[in-house]
Structures are given as structure tokens and as C-alpha cells.
Amino acid sequence: MHLLAFFLPPIFGFGFVLYFLPAIIGFARSKRDAGAILVLNFFLGWTAIGWVIALVWALKAKGEGGYGLTRIHTDKDKACRRSFLKILIRVNPWLRLKLC
């Protein structure tokens, strides 16, 4: 009986660390979505699919995927936005009061 009490806490602790391994990796890598990884891991980590998704998300490099996150706005973009606003003002003169 005493032998079981000796081995149970380390086994329980190892299981706890293994279960939250994706969240630990996310926080260790200073991921922006580390909180979301923790929530996903907490609620769906008991399923193998949820745990693997959280692990992949935690191990994913910062630059992968991310539509439009690294886009640099150019002068062409600013000119396009200005011309779009001019068209809106021509169509509806009341927008001039709200936008300007």
C-alpha cells in the first residue's frame, strides 16, 4: 500500500504534464495564441484529435499560414482607398459629413 502511494504522485504529475504539453509548448514559444491553445487543450485534449490539433498549433511556426498578416501597405493601397472614398462621396453626398 505504501509503495503505491510512493509511485502515484509522479505518475499523476507526468500524466498532467503530458496532457497539457501543447499548452506548455505554446507558452514556452511565446505564441500569440497560447491562451487559445490552452483552452482547446483543456476542453478537447481528452480526444486524440483535439490534443494533436493543439500540439500542431503550438509547434507551428509564426510565419506559416496567416492570410494578410505580413502584408505591407504601399502608397498604391492608400491611393486606392482615397479613390474609393471619392467614389462613395459622389454616390452619396451624406457620407462626406460622416467621413470627413
81 part of a folded domain: yes
Mean pLDDT of 69-79: 57
Contact 89, 99 (CB under 8 A): yes
Q: Is 92 contained in some domain?
A: yes
Sign for the CA dihedral angle at 14, 19, 20, 26 comes to positive
Q: Is residue 91 part of a domain?
A: yes
> Does residue 23 lie within any of the structural domains?
yes
The C-alpha cell of 21 is what? 504539453
96 Cβ contact partners less than 8 Å away, ≥ 6 residues apart: 89
Q: Please count the structural domains in the chain.
A: 1
pLDDT at 11: 73
Euclidean distance between CA atoms 39 and 54, whole angstroms: 9
At 59 the pLDDT is 92
- CB contact at 8 A, 45 and 38: no
Q: Which domain, by its residues, includes 83?
A: 2-61+73-99
44 CB burial (10 A radius; 0-12, 13-18, 19+) = middle
- Say if residue 2's pLDDT is above 80: no
Top-confidence residue, 36 or 12? 36
Whole-number percent of the chain with pLDDT over 70: 52
Whether the pTM exceeds 0.85: the reply is no
Closest CA to 23 of 33, 31, 34: 34
Give me the pLDDT at residue 76, please: 59
